[in-house]
Each structure stands twice: as structure tokens, then as C-alpha cells.
Amino acid sequence: MIKPLLIKGGRIIDPSQQIDEVGSLLVTKGKISWLGKGEAAPPQSDHDVLNARGLMVCPGFVDLHCHLRQPGFEEKETIATGTRAAARGGFTTICCMPNTNPPLDNQTAVEYVKSKAASEGVVRVLPIGCISKGRKGKELAEIGDLAAAGVVAFSDDGEPALSSYIMRQALDYSRAFDLPITDHCEDTVLTEGGQMNEGIISTKLGLRGLPNAAEDIIVARDLALAQLTGGRLHIAHTTTEGAVDLIRRAKEKGIRVTAEVTPHHLTLTEERVIGYNTNAKVNPPLRTEQDIQALIQGLNDNTIDIIATDHAPHTEADKLCEFALAPFGISGFETALGSLMSLVHDEQLTLVTLIAKLTHEPAKILGNKYGRLGTLAIGTEADVTLFDPALEWVVDTRAFASKGKNTPLAGERLKGKVMATIYQGKLVYKVDSVKLKES
Ligand code: DOR
């Protein structure tokens, strides 16, 4: 029998209940059973104690966009390693993209991911199904079958749904199944051969650019199709000032759209590519300070609903090559909170907004179908993240649980660190300095 666990004396921040105060949480049989303010003592005394003094205690983070690579690319990541990396990053629910091999465009592939996650994962894995068969953009996938298999959204991520006809059909289906269509917005005709953001730096480096317009064009088209169909559109990894403007105006008109932004697009500019750093090669590309400011403004005025990692692990060999040959992607789970906290330290985002964008807001997009997530409400599954907002640490990719060491933040100092992660009442990650007292 697992003993109840008292998470004692932390600053509890739960935007879903507008809670922000020091107190303690009791976890019993995997559920949140009690929340006490200040020094209040729990109703029962026979429990283990996790000392949370000086730490933030919030709902486990919910990530609507990551790549776990299994099946097919197990050399880059597996469900076992990816979910452990997620736990180290404070994520207790992660939605994995279907650009695997085979892609998640049929029930069997989805069932495979779900069964691997159940047997080898340490956090909740919710698969995303393909929009089109084989992610080829030619023919709609079996949307009804995939919905029945339990996918939480549809996406051809890595590729846009370039055919407006397919996108229209997908958005029509999204209404029937009440599941979002997550589009990777890139006009690939315009970006062919593109390696980084198009601008002065790409010119100086002699690399072909991916212009902002390539993103804006597909965002504008998708919004028009969402208006036409009344479907549920979710914009993946928003990066441009233009896209933020378009989404803001669409929301004003009542179009059903939600949008995400990644930690790297919020904190790093295209300058990271200088020196042909393949670990800064990502799609959409790192943009400019002006885009970053628009993205932050978008988060603050709720044009952008959530932060999602787009954790995209690759092997060292994949990235140890000429820039043009390297795959796009940044390994993001384990640095997400540390890099995002820079926005809080710089007073560009409040701590409560940041936590909302990682917990309650993504949970709202998922709805209640998978249990009530992103909350510390009594009776819900105990998914809890503890972090130290001020602890400074140096990113050491050798310590990553992820197989993907591909981050431009390697060797850098971040301020803010996940200290413990609890999933369904079980401690799935803890640093040594957080003390667990077993009774
Ligand atoms: O950088 C990226 N990597 N962008 C994507 O859209 C796909 C992803 C991947 O799968 O590696």
C-alpha cells in the first residue's frame, strides 16, 4: 500500500482555481485529497512528507506538442526515454506527434503507442493522429477510426496540410469529433530549401531562408477555412508577428482558433544560427527580437493560448553535419521551464501566467475527455510539479534523460529548475536536495 504523501509548505499556484498561496497538499491513493493553507495540518497524520519549502507547487505541466519518435526512430528517442525527459521537465501529460514510422494514421499504430506508453512510460501520453494518410497531404486519414482509437488531435506536423481541400475536410471532421486540427503552418512552396529565418543573417551565412510570409500565408488560409467550416483550428508553434496579428483578429471575429508558442521561439533569436550551429536549426526557424516581442504580447493578451515544447530529439550524428543536411529540431523538455523563467525574471510574463500557459490553458484545449488535467482540484489525479524559480544551473546534456542532446542551450546557465514531478500520486522525478521523509 502506498502511503499518503504530504507536499508540505510550498507556494501553491493553481490558475485553474485562482490559488496562489503558501500551503500543503495531501495526495491519497493517487488523488489530491486535501489542500491546506498556511501551516494547516492535514486530516490524517500517517503519511510520507515531501518538503516543498521555498518551492512552487503547481499542476503537472501539459504539453500539447512533442515528438517521441517511437515507432520507427528509436535511435532518436523512445517512449521510455521521452517520458522520463518529460518528467524531468515537470510535464505529466504529453501529446505526441504522429510523424513516426509508420505514421500514426491508423488504429494499430495508435494502439501501439498507447500500449508502449502504458508499459514503459512514466507520464501520461496522449497520441495525435495524422490528418492525411501517410502524412502525404493527398488523402484524408481515417479520422473516425483514429478518433475511436483515442487520438487527442490531428496533425501532419513537420508538414503543413498544404491542400486547402484536405484542410477543409479535416476542419469539418473536427466539429463532428470535437478534436482540434493542429496545423504546421508553412507554405512549403515558398520555403523549399530553406534552412533558417530569411533575413540579413541568412544572407550573410549564405543559407536559404524561410520567410515569415510562409507562415503568415498558411495561418491566414487556415483561419479562413476555420471560419468557413466552424471547425476547431489549433496553430502549432507560432513564430511570426504577422501570425500573431492574424490570430488576434480572428479571435475578435469569433473564429474557433487556439495557438501555441514554444520556449525556444520565445527566448532565442536567429542569431543562434551564426557559426552554423545545427542545434539551433528548427522549423519554424528562430526569428527576430521583433517577433519575440509580438509572441510575448500575444501570450499576455491571450491571443496565444499555450506554451508547447515541440520537443524534437535527434541523434548527435544527425546534427553533426553540414548545416543544410541537418534535420530540424530542438530537444526541449528538460530546458523548457529554465528558459521560460527568464521571461518571468525579466518581468515580461508573470509567474501565474506562465504556469497557466503550461497547465490549465492546454488542459482546456484537451477538454475533460482524458480526466480533469492541469489542476490541483480535490478529487483529481495527483499530477504535481515542484520547481525552484531562482535556482541557477548549467545545462549538461549528458544528464538529460532524453536521447536528444540537440539543444543550443548546452553549457548555458538557466535560472529556474524543476525539483520534483508527481504523476498520478507517484514520485516520478526528484532532485536529491528535495527531501522525502517516509513515515
Ligand atoms: O523542428 C522541427 N522538428 N519542426 C517540425 O515541425 C518537426 C520536428 C521534428 O519532427 O523533428
Tens of pLDDT along 13-59? 999 999 999 999 999 999 999 999 999 999 988 999 999 999 999 99
pLDDT digits (tens, 9 = 90+) for 247-262: 999 999 999 999 999 9
Percent of the chain at pLDDT exceeding 90 = 97
- Give me the mean pLDDT over the 191-213 stretch: 98
Give domain 5-57+381-395+413-438's CATH superfamily. Urease, subunit C, domain 1 (2.30.40.10)
In ligand 1, the atom with minimum distance to the C-alpha of 328 is 1
pLDDT digits (tens, 9 = 90+) for 185-200: 999 999 999 999 999 9
Quote the ligand 1 centre to 94 CA distance (angstroms). 16
Which residues, listed in sequence order, are joined to residue 28 by a DSSP beta bridge? 31
pLDDT digits (tens, 9 = 90+) for 272-284: 999 999 999 999 9
Q: Which of 68, 131, 157 to mutate to test the pocket of ligand 1 (most atoms within 8 A of CB)?
A: 157
Looking at residue 368, what is its pLDDT?
86
Q: At 389, phi and psi to the nearest 5?
A: -70, -20
Looking at residue 439, what is its pLDDT?
81
Q: How far is CA 196 from CA 264, 279, 283, 318, in A?
A: 14, 12, 8, 17
pTM value > 0.95: yes
User: Ligand 1 pocket by C-beta < 6 Å: which residues?
Assistant: 67, 99, 157-158, 184, 282-283, 312, 327-329
Quote the ligand 1 centre to 151 CA distance (angstroms). 20
In ligand 1, the atom with minimum distance to the C-alpha of 312 is 11
**508577428: which residue's cell?**
241
Report domain extents, the chain.
Answer: 5-57+381-395+413-438, 60-370
DSSP H or E segment with residue 204: helix 200-205
CA–CA separation, 41 and 147 (whole Å): 45
Q: Which of 67, 97, 260 to mutate to test the pocket of ligand 1 (most atoms within 8 A of CB)?
A: 67
- 3-state secondary structure at position 30: coil
CATH topology of domain 60-370: TIM Barrel (3.20.20)
Helix (DSSP H) and strand (DSSP E) numbers for the chain: 14, 18
In ligand 1, the atom with minimum distance to the C-alpha of 159 is 6
CA–CA separation, 95 and 283 (whole Å): 18
CB atoms under 10 Å from CB of 61, counted, come to 30
